[in-house]
């Protein structure tokens, strides 16, 4: 017998397998989807059995061992991997590796492990009774008497010394039993009854003949409650469900909303878990012990059988697209898996992406809308403040309006959230003598001043240097800080107000559990004001928050990306959703230098459809998604010349071979021209036909052999 094995190593030929002979004693255990250990050159590598063949005429090496008792990947996941590979042009093995938690890799076995409970129990009753009658060791007699009444008992209940002798005498034995680190065990509460609007929406979902449904409902309209009903129905039919949420909104708050209704029937997968915990959760799923998986992006690969529904909440979140290889989009994967299982995909959002809404608008997806908040809370009143006028009045950070409103909320003992999309103290340091800006030595980007740690840090490569007042170029003592970061806001708040302020950004949440701790203490009103970055924009529900301020709404607008208006709209609506969720009317203050921008204006009136209609016209005239698809090629090299020359070669090749539906832009210097001492160029291709572009790109990958460059391909990139 011969098997084709996909080994864990990258090639230009991205799906290449190697044939190995199966020794006779292993033949019976061979199955597609199991992993094997094989000799490869001088190494031993893990690989997946992809195919089983008759003997071959060639002389082949033998496989060393079979790693898995059961196929680790089902036929569904094996095929799914191949389909994804064809679309995003990554290495097939990288997808299979993404599907599995780290715990399954042999080399990780030491630090990721299975946890056991150790028990002892009587094995020989006669000996036990004999021991009780003859022995003089009172404590041991007590143990034996205790055990005689029970099936077994936890070993650590007794002292080791006492047990040892009983074990040696073969009166008792030790047994171990696998346990999970996370055990959800709650009393199951019934799900709330839906209100008439929710019922109407749910009926539309139930009766739709489309594979994908866009549930477009404002924040607080009760989408999550609809999800629960949909899931419950599938579970009752014996089917399973996947719920994806953005990593950042996988808060204990959110998870407990589900565990309240489904208790131990849930496995949770997110980055807050240790690798061992993830391994535990994955085994629960694989063994069919749970029917619901809630998780971030990679949970879409959960090995559930018989999936009845896949729900993707906050579908506009960029976290569903993996930024590193393999650059898959969990929404595309969800649609493929749903098709296989004959299940529906529900995309939920208050602010869907333009592409998703366009598909729903054109009838490819079912469009279901919810325009009323479930608990009758009013949408917050959004006020736009023109910071150009405020600067004239001398208000550089907070407008007078925002200061007055903060004072008002503090006096009423209500809570406030302030948002700024920039961590650190200031954006950059500039020399007032020579005008130079302090830059990262490895990247073409300014360093951010962090006052707490007295460091200038690069947010791209992690480089850090001590802060100095002296300009690194002219050596004068003339460096000044410009721009705002969350640290500076925190400091200013403490200067101006007598309030308890807590900050939430990457710098304050790097420790495990820090994130949940800040959320809980803010929830318990230990703080009056929460200041933070994107991290606080989504999913949090604090009943006492009645004021939300966006310190600078222009941070996203100023990024040169065709989606910058869309991102601004999303951000403003999301942070607005944090205000006034429980009865008290909320207020949102948006500070901007672009008060006339259409994204900001439509966001003020909560008019998503208005924004969509304006934005889609621009997309059409500029030939951007959804009218054209995009592919982004990044060419990196240690030298500028090499990166540039190879980019020209590649773009020439594409131009010579392209079909009429393609528009090739570039090569141009990357938006950040140097990161970690690698120079980047990029080529953007706009295209309409997926097959044409795939053929060209596949050809490029297979002929590219310049060892001095790296070529990175991103199909449907989220940032360009
Ligand atoms: P969304 O997911 O659309 O933001 P949620 O499902 O979180 O909305 O609902 C917002 C709030 O309204 C939650 O506190 C939720 O418990 C409550 N809610 C939703 N639907 C109902 C209902 N039918 N009856 C009572 N309360 C509801
Ligand atoms: Zn850097």
pLDDT tens for each residue of 26-72: 999 999 999 999 999 899 999 999 999 987 778 899 999 999 999 99
DSSP-derived 3-state class of residue 84: helix
Q: Of ligand 1's atoms, which has the minimum distance to the CA of residue 257? A: 16
Residue 540 to residue 72: CA distance in whole angstroms: 36
Which protein residues are within 6 Å of ligand 1, measured from CB?
A: 192-195, 198, 217, 219-225, 374-375
* 19 pLDDT above the threshold of 90: yes
Nearest CA to ligand 1 atom 20: 222
Going through 420-476 in order, the beta strands assigned E by DSSP cover 428-431, 448-450, 455-457, 464-466
- Ligand 1 binding pocket mutation candidate from 189, 197, 200, 220 (most atoms within 8 A of CB): 220
Cβ atoms of 348 and 314 closer than 8 Å: yes
Element (H, E) at 336: helix 330-341
- Give the ranges where 577-677 is alpha helix by DSSP (H): 598-604, 608-621, 640-657
User: Phi and psi (nearest 5°) for 457?
Assistant: -120, 145
- When the pLDDT of each residue in the chain is averaged and rounded to a whole number, the result is 90
**Which are the contacts of 704, defined by CB distance < 8 A and separation ≥ 6?**
12, 650, 711
Q: Compute the distance from residue 369 Cα to the ligand 1 centre, in Å.
A: 15
Q: Of ligand 1's atoms, which has the minimum distance to the CA of residue 577? A: 4
**Ligand 2 ion: nearby residues, β-carbon < 5 Å:** 440, 442-443, 458, 460-461, 463
Longest dimension (CA), the chain: 97
Name the DSSP class of 37.
Answer: E
| Torsion, CA 524, CA 527, CA 532, CA 534, rounded to 10 | 20
Are β-strands 587-592 and 529-532 bridged in parallel, bridged antiparallel, or unpaired? unpaired
- Ligand 1 binding pocket mutation candidate from 245, 375, 539, 573 (most atoms within 8 A of CB): 375
Confidence of residue 710 (pLDDT cuts 50, 70, 90): very high
Nearest CA to ligand 1 atom 22: 194
- Ligand 1 binding pocket mutation candidate from 225, 258, 313, 583 (most atoms within 8 A of CB): 225
- Ligand 1 binding pocket mutation candidate from 222, 245, 246, 352 (most atoms within 8 A of CB): 222
Cβ atoms of 192 and 227 closer than 8 Å: no
pLDDT tens for each residue of 289-336: 999 999 999 999 999 999 999 999 999 999 999 999 999 999 999 999
> In 3D, which of 608, 606, 626, 607 has the Cα closest to residue 616?
626
Q: Compute the distance from residue 455 Cα to the ligand 2 centre, in Å.
A: 13
Q: Compute the distance from residue 546 Cα to the ligand 1 centre, in Å.
A: 18
Fold of the domain built from segment(s) 196-370: Rossmann fold (3.40.50)
Cβ atoms of 115 and 179 closer than 8 Å: yes
**Residues linked to residue 701 through DSSP beta bridges, in sequence order:** none
Percent of the chain topping pLDDT 90: 60
What is the pLDDT averaged over residues 124-129? 85
Rg of the chain over all Cα atoms, to the nearest angstrom: 30
Q: Compute the distance from residue 420 Cα to the ligand 2 centre, in Å.
A: 22
Q: What is the CATH number of domain 629-715?
A: 3.30.70.600
Q: Compute the distance from residue 253 Cα to the ligand 2 centre, in Å.
A: 36
Give yes or no on whether 2-99 and 196-370 have one common fold: no
Q: Which of 78-87, 456-465, 552-561, 653-662 has the lowest mean pLDDT?
A: 552-561
Please determine, looking at this structure, whether the domain spanning 2-99 carries the CATH number 3.40.50.720: no
Confidence of residue 189 (pLDDT cuts 50, 70, 90): confident
> In 3D, which of 254, 220, 192 has the Cα closest to residue 371?
220
Residue-level length of the chain? 720
Q: What is the CATH number of domain 381-426+483-619?
A: 3.40.50.300
Nearest CA to ligand 1 atom 19: 222
**Sheet of strand 35-40: strand arrangement:** 18-21, 2-7, 43-53, 35-40, 65-66
> In 3D, which of 494, 539, 492 has the Cα closest to residue 519?
539
Residue spans of the domains in the chain: they are: 2-99, 116-178, 196-370, 381-426+483-619, 629-715
* 111 pLDDT above the threshold of 90: no
Going through 235-375 in order, the beta strands assigned E by DSSP cover 240-244, 266-269, 292-295, 307-312, 344-349, 366-370
Q: What count of other Cβ atoms lies within 10 Å of the Cβ of residue 633?
A: 23
Nearest CA to ligand 1 atom 11: 220
Q: Compute the distance from residue 446 Cα to the ligand 2 centre, in Å.
A: 8
What is the pLDDT averaged over residues 338-366? 97
Element (H, E) at 78: helix 75-88
């Amino acid at each position: 017998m011969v098997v084709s094995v996909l080994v864990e190593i990258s090639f230009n030929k991205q799906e290449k397998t190697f044939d190995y002979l199966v020794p006779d004693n292993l033949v019976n255990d061979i199955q597609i989807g199991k992993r094997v250990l094989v000799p490869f050159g001088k190494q031993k590598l893990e690989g997946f059995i992809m195919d089983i063949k008759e003997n071959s005429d060639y002389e082949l090496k033998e496989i060393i061992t079979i790693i898995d008792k059961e196929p680790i990947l089902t036929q569904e996941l094996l095929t799914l991997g191949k389909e994804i590979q064809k679309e995003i042009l990554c290495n097939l093995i990288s997808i299979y590796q993404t599907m599995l938690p780290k715990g399954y890799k042999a080399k990780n076995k030491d630090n990721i492990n299975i946890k056991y409970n150790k028990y002892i129990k009587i094995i020989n009753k006669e000996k036990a009774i004999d021991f009780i009658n003859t022995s003089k060791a009172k404590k041991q007699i007590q143990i034996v008497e205790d055990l005689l009444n029970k099936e077994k008992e936890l070993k650590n209940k007794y002292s080791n010394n006492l047990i040892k002798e009983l074990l040696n005498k073969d009166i008792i034995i030790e047994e171990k039993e696998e346990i999970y680190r996370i055990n959800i065990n709650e009393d199951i509460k019934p799900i709330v009854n839906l209100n008439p609007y929710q019922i109407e929406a749910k009926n539309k979902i139930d009766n739709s003949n489309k594979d994908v449904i866009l549930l477009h409902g404002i924040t607080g309209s009760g989408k999550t409650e609809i999800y629960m009903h949909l899931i419950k129905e599938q579970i009752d039919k014996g089917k399973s469900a996947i719920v994806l949420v953005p990593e950042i909104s996988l808060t204990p708050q959110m998870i407990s909303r589900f565990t309240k209704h489904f208790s131990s029937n849930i496995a949770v997968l997110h980055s807050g878990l240790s690798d061992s915990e993830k391994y535990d959760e994955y085994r629960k799923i694989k063994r069919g012990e749970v029917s619901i998986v809630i998780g971030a992006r990679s949970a879409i690969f959960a090995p559930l059988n018989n999936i009845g529904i896949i729900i993707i909440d906050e579908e506009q979140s960029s976290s569903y697209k993996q930024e590193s290889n393999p650059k898959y989009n969990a929404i595309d994967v969800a649609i493929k898996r749903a098709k296989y299982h004959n299940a529906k995909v529900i995309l939920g959002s208050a602010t869907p992406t333009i592409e998703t809404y366009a598909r729903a608008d054109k009838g490819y997806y079912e469009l279901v809308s919810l325009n009323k908040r479930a608990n009758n809370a009013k949408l917050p009143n959004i006020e736009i403040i023109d910071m150009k006028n405020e600067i004239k009045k001398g208000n550089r950070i907070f407008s007078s309006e925002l200061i007055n409103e903060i004072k008002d909320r503090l006096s009423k003992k209500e809570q406030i959230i302030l948002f700024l999309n920039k961590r650190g103290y200031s954006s950059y340091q500039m020399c007032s003598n020579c005008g130079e800006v302090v830059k990262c030595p490895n990247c073409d980007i300014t360093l951010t001043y962090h006052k707490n740690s007295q460091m200038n840090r690069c947010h791209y490569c992690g480089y850090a240097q001590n802060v100095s007042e002296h300009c690194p170029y002219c050596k004068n003592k003339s460096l000044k800080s410009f721009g705002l970061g969350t640290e500076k806001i925190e400091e200013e708040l403490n200067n101006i107000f007598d309030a308890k302020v807590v900050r939430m950004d990457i710098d304050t949440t790097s420790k495990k559990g820090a994130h949940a701790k800040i959320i809980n203490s803010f929830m318990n009103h230990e703080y009056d004001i929460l200041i933070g970055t994107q991290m606080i924009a989504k999913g949090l529900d604090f009943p006492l928050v009645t004021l939300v301020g966006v310190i600078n709404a222009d941070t996203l607008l100023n990024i040169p990306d065709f989606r910058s208006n869309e991102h601004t709209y999303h951000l403003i609506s999301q942070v607005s959703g944090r205000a006034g969720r429980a009865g008290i009317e909320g207020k949102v203050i948006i500070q901007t230098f672009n008060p006339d921008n259409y994204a900001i204006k439509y966001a003020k009136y909560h008019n998503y459809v208005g924004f969509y209609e304006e934005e889609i016209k621009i997309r059409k005239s500029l030939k951007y998604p959804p009218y054209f698809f995009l592919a982004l090629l990044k060419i990196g090299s240690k030298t500028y010349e090499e990166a540039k020359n190879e980019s020209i070669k590649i773009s020439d090749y594409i131009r010579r071979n392209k079909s009429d539906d393609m528009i090739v832009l570039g090569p141009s210097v990357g938006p950040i021209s140097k990161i970690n001492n690698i120079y980047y160029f990029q080529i953007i291709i706009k295209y309409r036909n997926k097959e044409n572009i795939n053929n060209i790109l596949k050809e490029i990958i297979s002929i590219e052999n310049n060892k001095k460059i790296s070529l990175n391909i991103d199909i449907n990139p989220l940032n360009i």
